[in-house]
A and B are shown apart, each in its own frame.
Chain A
Amino acid sequence: MKYLPLLWSGIWRKPGRTALVLLQVAVAFALFGVLQGMKTGVDRAVAKTRADLLIVTPADFGGAPLPLSYLDRLRSIPGMQSVDFADGFLGTYQKPTQPVFVLAIQPSQLWVTLVPEMFQVLPKDLDALKNTRDGALITADIGKKYGWHVGDRIPLTSTTLQSDGSGTWSFQIVGTFTDHEPGEAGFIVGNYDYLDQARALNKGTVRNFYAIIADPKRAAEMSDTIDRAFGNSSNETKTGSLRELAQQQMRAIGDLNFLIRSVVGAVLVALLFSITTIMMQTIRERTPEFAVLKTLGFGDRPIFLLVVGECLLICIAAALTGLALATGVFPYAGKFVPGLSMPLSVVGFGLIGAVLVALITAVPPALRAARLEVVDALAGR
């Protein structure tokens, strides 16, 4: 305890220098936090997605849609809990540059819990949609973008034509939902029956089926069963669990891991070198002071610990500041890179890193300070 004031005055001996070191370490750890947070955020997002939800799509993306009659066949597969489906079409609002995708569903309560990490809807909104054939649910984002409110009627223009040849679809906004997919503010939810009865082509077809299975561990096996069941029909399917899909998407970011590691490596090299030289310089300048301390009876060990302690304190404080900064940047960076988060494990890693940086950089100068010969030091040799 009695060393604390000494430690404190040692740190603030040159306030400008200490402030710069603090800042530099903080910046480096902010970068570490963002990069590492990106990676763990992605990993966790993947682990959180449902493994028991299988998505059934046409085998060739963009090809002919699947017949609705598959619904009963899917439901009859053993191990299946419930099956739902969705279709959709692309329209534009007022201008060709304002695309709005309409997700067409049958408003069953299944949607309340289907994919909460992407799509959240309240039972009362689903009921409202169910009761209005041409109803639509919107997100707050899209409402703000186009000035839509619940109760409004909106026209969308689409290349998906109605039976009478018209490409104009009219929707009555009856409620809201929350969309957690980053960057896409462009979709609304409507009734499948409205779309299917009105459209000229592709009647009785859907884009995807959503199949919930009883045992998530059997996801791969069930996917194969489904694809085999429709194997030699004119509408082959491709099935995968939501988690598998997320993994595929994220694998693309995973390819950046090598780059992220290189960047963190470069930061570390620069940081270690910079702090070591600055510490060396500080100790050199403080040689007479250490000599005085030794004359007063301080041993080698307390002086060694004093120097290491100073460095530890600076590095840990700076690392925490940096990680806090990184968390502050996340809401902004999330617009460009999805899935950022700062789990405690990253903070832990950061702190361990800070302690290691402090020890590596402080030990050589601390040894130098501890081994000073009083006579030489005071004589300025």
Chain B
Amino acid sequence: MKLARQFWALLRMNLAGIPARLGLVCTIVIGVTCAVAVLVSMLAMGAGAREESMGAVSPNRATLTSVDAPSPLQSSIAQDAAPLIRDLPGIRRNAEGKPIVVFQVTVFVQARSKINRAQIGFPLIGMTPGFTDYQPELHITAGRMYNPGLHELIASNKCVRQYTDFGVGAHRHMRGGDWLVVGNFDLTSTVCLVFGDGDTILSAFGRNTYNQANVMLQSPEAFADLTNALKANPSLHLKAQHEAEIFAQNMQQLNGILNFVSYFVGAIMALAATIGAANSLYAIVDGRRRELAILRAVGFNSAPIVASVVSESILLALPGALIGALVAWLLFNGLLASPFGASFHMAVTPSLALLGLGWALGIGLIGGLLPALRAARVPVTDAMRAT
């Protein structure tokens, strides 16, 4: 009880002294602000990319690929395997009673960037009939769906924004001649997506195998039935993965780079902020030597002194974190970032702000600890004599 009262008295004294040492106090706040703003805005890239690519993931969707393929792009499924795959258990049926299985082939074609006219590869994805049953959230915003058997494409609005000639009515010259963009759509993804009829693309690009088979499950639990059936039939040479797993795999490299850069830069900034905070607090504590010595002389304990200085440090760091998160939100939230070929809107989420708050807590705690110990150890006689 006595210690708590001492602590409160000390803390009030510390806080009352803030206006007198505005420069030093601001150093702590600004240091933390910069560190948190940088950390949060860097992480906002990863958060934005995750949000946009994982936003539409459904536990009801699974993808079949060759057993030994490291990614769907290296997988191949022969056309004559299609009936066998349609008969696998656990697959949902559409209104007409047909199993929802969509075979997919992906080829990369060149597009031109709107900004600098540079050539960039985009995935042209061929889907066999049943695509709309598999991906009901695909929302056509202009034009119409492509017709099977024709050289028609639909392009996501991301393509229209990034590259030339993806609007409805645009002609694109690709293998097998002229292709017409007949629709634009919205679908959550970090990259530009273009869809066309699977078998048309297969023949136009001289392919004889699909890359993957996408299936809609009866329920998330039906995934086990599907994998068991695949294990029981090794001649199919297929493995099943949840949609989330495939998406996470695609994101892995981008996420790895973004996270490394974010935490690396964030940690260095936090270190600098911690050192700056420690230095300022040393100066603040030094300025209070006499007061502290008097308090020690009249019976104040070391523990409340340590606690009060650390609390002061944390109390100064927290507003820094709030301002930092706010700055990151104002500057970067919703900003279109396009690092490493992907394109997405940065997202400053509440959880990132909380993370920034946590880091600020750490900066305050560590930065305040050493000065607090010094404050508690002020030799009474020396301090009284000090000028």
By a beta-carbon cutoff of 8 Å, the part of chain A in contact with chain B is 16-17, 20-21, 23-24, 27-28, 30-31, 34-35, 59-64, 90, 92, 96-97, 99, 157, 159, 236, 238, 240, 248, 251-253, 255-256, 259, 262-263, 266-267, 269-271, 273-274, 276-278, 280-281, 285, 288, 333, 336-337, 380
Contact = CB atoms under 8 A, between A and B. Distances in A.
B205 A17 contact: no
Contact of A262 (B26, B41, B116): B41
Given A267-B34, A274-B27, A337 B257 contact: yes
B70 interface: yes
Given A61-B107, A263-B265, A274-B27, A159 B205 contact: no
11 contacts: A60-B109, A61-B110, A63-B205, A64-B205, A236-B175, A251-B116, A269-B34, A274-B30, A278-B280, A336-B256, A337-B261
B260 A336 contact: yes
Nearest to B23: A277
Interface stretch (B89-97, B191-199, B336-344): B336-344
A216 B288 CA distance: 70
B25 to A, nearest CB: 9
B31 interface: yes
Contacts of B74: 90, 99, 159
A281 B264 contact: no
Q: Which 5 A-B pairs have the closest CB atoms?
A: A61-B108, A270-B34, A96-B68, A277-B23, A64-B206
B280 A277 contact: yes
B250 to A, nearest CB: 16
B68 A27 contact: no
Nearest to B370: A16
Contacts of B265: 31, 35, 263
Given A253-B339, A274-B280, A336 B257 contact: yes
A240 B120 CA distance: 12
B141 interface: no
A192 to B, nearest CB: 21
**Overall SS of chain B's interface:** helix
Interface stretch (B131-139, B219-227, B267-275): B267-275
Given A59-B110, A278-B280, A273 B27 contact: yes
A262 B340 CA distance: 18
Contact of B275 (A23, A99, A238, A333): A23
B297 interface: no
Contacts of A273: 26-27, 30-31
A270 B35 contact: yes
A27 B272 contact: yes
Nearest to B124: A60
Interface string B110-142: 100000101111001000000000000000000
Contacts of B264: 34, 333
A146 to B, nearest CB: 16
A62 B107 contact: yes
B311 interface: no
Contacts, number: 159
B163 interface: no
Contact of A278 (B42, B257, B283, B331): B283
B352 interface: no
A30 B205 contact: no
A252 B73 contact: no
A251 B45 CA distance: 17
A113 B159 CA distance: 39
B368 interface: no
A349 B34 CA distance: 22
Contact of A24 (B24, B42, B76, B275): B275
A248 B120 contact: yes
Nearest to B278: A20
Contacts of B331: 262
B327 to A, nearest CB: 9
B316 interface: no
B174 interface: yes
Interface in B234-283: 256-257, 260-261, 264-265, 268-269, 271-273, 275-276, 278-280, 282-283
Contacts of A24: 272, 275-276, 279
Given A259-B42, A270-B276, A248 B68 contact: no
B365 interface: no
Nearest to A256: B339
B175 A248 contact: no
Contacts of A90: 70, 74
A248 B118 contact: yes
Contact of B68 (A20, A23, A157, A255): A157
A99 B70 contact: yes
Given A263-B265, A266-B34, A21 B107 contact: no
B175 A60 contact: yes
Given A263-B38, A267-B34, A274-B27, A16 B68 contact: no
A66 to B, nearest CB: 12
A63 B110 CA distance: 12
A262 B272 CA distance: 16
A28 to B, nearest CB: 5
